[in-house]
Amino acid sequence: MPSIATKASGNNGEIKQQQKELVCVTGAGGFIGSWVVKELLLRGYRVRGTARDPADRKNAHLLALEGAEARLTLCRADVLDYDGLRAAFAGCHGVFHVASPVSNDPDLAPVAVEGTRNVINAAADAGVRRVVFTSSYGAVHMDPKRSPDAVLDESCWSDYEFCKQTGNLYCCAKMMAEITATEEAARRGLELAVVVPSMTMGPMLQQQLNFSSGHVARYLTGAKAAYPDAVAAYVDVRDVARAHVLAYERAAAANGQRFLCIGAVLHRASFLQLLKELFPQFPVTAKCQVDGEPMAKPYRFSNQRLKDLGLEFTPLRESLYETVMSLQQYGHLPQLPAPVAPKRAYL
């Protein structure tokens, strides 16, 4: 598999120009945020990352990234603190608003909306030109009225009332935050692109367990007794990071656009079968919660808009393999004998 450094290469003129440009990443220490920082450093950007506590050792992995010593600084900022954000964005050409907790806490939506409003307005007041906002496919695919023959794309939105009634409050929060980002950016004259990633797989840079990696670990060890009759969309975290930077660099074409960042859609049973094939030494969850009933069918989707920007999606098989290797590296899974790395395939 090509390294991300190879994928990130551009013409020399672009790289030389980018070395002079300062950008800020909110939530820099998180799963996606860390990879966005890494991708930006590999492309020659000067990066400022925000964290609630920059001195916390959980952010140490950022300072160890290639290029970090010369071109990365961490600063204290919280999305609910406008003044802190304004100071963090001072002198920046662009902002990547990645920071967002993953939970179904009823208080999440107000925090996500107010935090996003603060980010957009602080960016505008600091003279920032471009913002890339990290949404979620939870804001896109949750619509029971959508035809099974429809193709999920950037025009789709989740049904807010359905999400609320079914307790999917994270989806509600991401929908409201994305709408807020779009409206505030238009009001303040900022260039905005929105990246909409699905369930994100791949190696961790941070040591702390994140939601999606924990999801894999629970199924791999059999900690979850059964899996649901459900379909989900998956994407590699390195592809998500590249999508953010591609959308930023193509701002003239990307302004105001959403970019659906999905690499594969499959039933949970197929997802677990991939895990079992890759790691037969683990007791992967094998029982479905509704055995004997017709299974949900994967839906069709389009990621053409990101492909048009030059993104090549990583096969899920590779993402899963590297997810588990990473979980073992950081002690979240036992160090059982490693299987042979998978060859490139569609999944």
In a domain, 327, yes or no: no
Structural domain boundaries enclosing 152? 3-200+236-261+298-314
In a domain, 218, yes or no: no
In a domain, 209, yes or no: no
pLDDT score of 87 more than 70: yes
Q: Cα-flanking dihedrals φ and ψ of residue 83, to 5°?
A: -65, -40
Look at the chain and report how many structural domains it folds into. 1
**CA separation for the pair 140, 115 (Å, rounded):** 21
Evaluate the CA torsion angle 152, 157, 162, 164 in order and state its sign. Answer: positive
In a domain, 69, yes or no: yes
**Chain segment 133-182, per-residue pLDDT in tens:** 999 999 999 999 998 889 999 999 999 999 999 999 999 999 999 999 99
The pLDDT assigned to 107 comes to 78
Please tell me the total number of residues recorded for the chain in this structure: 347
pTM of the model: 0.90
SS3 category, 106: coil
pLDDT bracket for residue 335 (50, 70, 90) = confident
| Beta carbons within 10 angstroms of residue 264's beta carbon | 26
pLDDT score of 332 more than 90: yes
pLDDT bracket for residue 17 (50, 70, 90) = very low
For 288, the token pair is 């479905």
The pLDDT assigned to 313 comes to 97
Instruction: Identify the CATH number of the domain in which residue 131 sits.
Output: 3.40.50.720
* Active-site residue, selected from the candidate residues 7, 16, 38, 174: 174
**CA separation for the pair 153, 207 (Å, rounded):** 33
The pLDDT assigned to 14 comes to 42
In a domain, 322, yes or no: no
In a domain, 80, yes or no: yes
**CA separation for the pair 215, 234 (Å, rounded):** 12
Tell me if residue 164 is catalytic.
no
In a domain, 145, yes or no: yes
In a domain, 214, yes or no: no
For 291, the token pair is 């055995």
